[in-house]
Amino acid sequence: MHTLKDCLLSCAWVIVLLLATYPARAQDEIIVKEIAFQGNKSFANDVLQAQMTLKPKSFLKSIQFWNRDNRAHEYSENILTRDLRRIVSFYNTEGFLKTRIDTFFVNLNNDENKARINIHVTEGDSVVVRKFDFELNARDDFDRERCGKILRDLQDKYHLREGLRFRDAALQADTDLIYNHIANAGYPYVAIKPRPALNNAKNALELTLVVSPGPHCAFGDIEVEGNERVPASAVIKQLAFRKGEIFNQDAVRKSQAQIYQLGIFQFVTIQLLFQDSTSQVLPVRIKLREAPTYTTKFGLGYGREEKVRLSADSQILGLGGARRLNILAKRSALEPINLSATLTQPAFPDRYSVLTANPFYRHQKETAFDIVRIGTNLAVQRKMGTYTNGFINYTLENTEQKGANLENLPESNNKSAVSVGMVRNSSAPLFSPTEGSIRSATVTVSGFGFNSVRFVRVIGEHIKYWSLAESVVLAHKLKFGWLEALGTDTAVPKEERFYAGGSNSVRGWRRQELGPLGADGRPLGGNMLMDASIELRFPIYGLFSGVTFMDLGNVWNDQISGLHYAFGLGLRFETLIGPARIDFGIPTFEDGAILQRKKTQYHISIGHAF
């Protein structure tokens, strides 16, 4: 009978044998150490390398045993053969029809189990476009004149031009360009076929695009399928086209987006019921699937400022038309209680506008103040362009001070305020933008009856993203604010003032730490704000990325004095709801002087700082 000691000894010997034989097994694998190219004049080595599955394996990747993609770095003659074909195919699509791989050498180092691959490319001459023309097969003079004008107006936008190298991608881009413009002019049946004439001896190409517009069409009957609670009229109201209007492809795409943005459907599909190629009327079928009547989403998170965050968001549909009701409950260290209900009425007063009513109860507990807000918002938001939205918002609330009141401000105040603003957001993708910008401006005036405090506040912000290389992004932010009491009021409530410092502001300081301080060291806030950042975001490995940043800003009361600066580093981990992040901000200067004893701040949160 084996004792427990014998079993443990046996297991230990098995582990030792496995560890001893692992290096020997690993030595059987031949790793690609280097890939070199000769003869490639038109494309750099890294461009050709990107076409290959085999890639040189660096030391860093060699120790990443968890990475399954590492197998692609093991030398394989079959994979190399396919890679050489891909390189030739790449050249062909770029207009080099006579490219060939003359020779390739694989130098094996049996002692190190490494392979160095040398590939010699003969590119040959590229095919040059000698003539680029169109042939228009229109049904009548109206179609010929209309479509001919479209082709002429696009002349400066074509990628294929006489004297330039032919590229497959350029042909596809020009075909898509012509198709979209002619389809938007009312020709959904448009067909475009290239007719090439290649002179192999001279590597010259004469290319004719044969454009057949088909019949000029209008939208026909519109039917809605899949709607149970929402009336068809509420769906049709969101369409960017009407029955009898000239067909427009962009209007179809825009309509699908507008219906989906109602927030009450799981999917939306708009089908054009194409008939025979001579029909000039296109019936439309809208297929929908409604979202469940009741849904609830729960949230859990952690940030250094908010501590543990809990939230529950319930949505109720079927309140008549396309209306929906959202009930939100949140709790965190900064908001011990946050309760609100939002009733949304789409298409008010037209399909480009949304009306919302939002009663709320909020307990805000900041370093600067401890207050309870009770009130309601009434807002109309209007889509003003592809990326631009405008809004007007009326707020009526009562605010009660709960914490210490060292400024002898009223314990309670009323606010009756109107805010008008505009936001232009062309950034993408949603949670980690790599391009585009965000610009916003808001003006708030308080003092419309109800014994309201009186003040005016202006806030402007500009954020820009540049893609410098693959997954490398440069981002910058500039934000400013101005605030002033009106009439006989001499002070603005503390909760309406400006503050700076924290995870989304100047990161070398704690939340609200920048700006005027009271005798007890607590922030007082100010009536002027400047907050700016520049941040470089770069990949590290897999879902991990890093940032390096410089922040600057301050808050003032009567006059601008000095700026505060912070430099730092951060780590990001991508999640489904945005990057989880930790930032370390080093306060470097304060009013021009180097800080000697100021501690480095760290911030933990979800989402980029801006």
Per residue in 439-461, pLDDT (tens digit) is 999 999 999 999 999 999 999 99
- Strands 114-122 and 100-109 come out as antiparallel
Average pLDDT taken over every residue of the chain:
89
pLDDT band at 597 (very low <50, low <70, confident <90, very high): low
Comparison of pLDDT for 274 and 509, the residue scoring more? 509
Q: What is the CATH number of domain 218-290?
A: 3.10.20.310
pLDDT at 378: 98
Fold (topology level) of 128-212: Ubiquitin-like (UB roll) (3.10.20)
- On whether the CB atoms of residues 194 and 164 are closer than 8 A, the answer is no
Q: How many CB atoms lie within 10 A of CB 177?
A: 14
pLDDT band at 592 (very low <50, low <70, confident <90, very high): low
- Is the model's pTM score more than 0.85? no
- On whether the CB atoms of residues 522 and 494 are closer than 8 A, the answer is no
What share of the chain has pLDDT > 70, as a percent? 91
**Each residue's pLDDT tens digit, 142-194:** 999 999 999 999 999 999 999 999 999 999 999 999 999 999 999 999 999 99
Most confident of 70-74, 344-348, 453-457: 453-457
pLDDT at 558 over 60: yes
pLDDT at 18 over 50: no
Q: Which architecture does CATH list for 27-122? A: Roll (3.10)
pLDDT at 409: 74
Q: 17-26, 305-314, 524-533 — which is least confidently predicted?
A: 17-26
- As a whole number of angstroms, the distance between CA 288 and CA 178 comes to 31
Ranges of beta strands (E only) in 518-563 are: 528-541, 544-556
Q: Which residues of 500-529 are buried (b: 16+ CB within 10 A; e: fewer)?
A: bbbbbbbbbbbbbbbbeeeeeebbbbbbbb
pLDDT band at 564 (very low <50, low <70, confident <90, very high): very high
Range 385-391+425-606 has CATH code 2.40.110.10: no
pLDDT at 355 over 70: yes
99-106 mean pLDDT? 91
pLDDT at 24 over 80: no
pLDDT at 524: 92
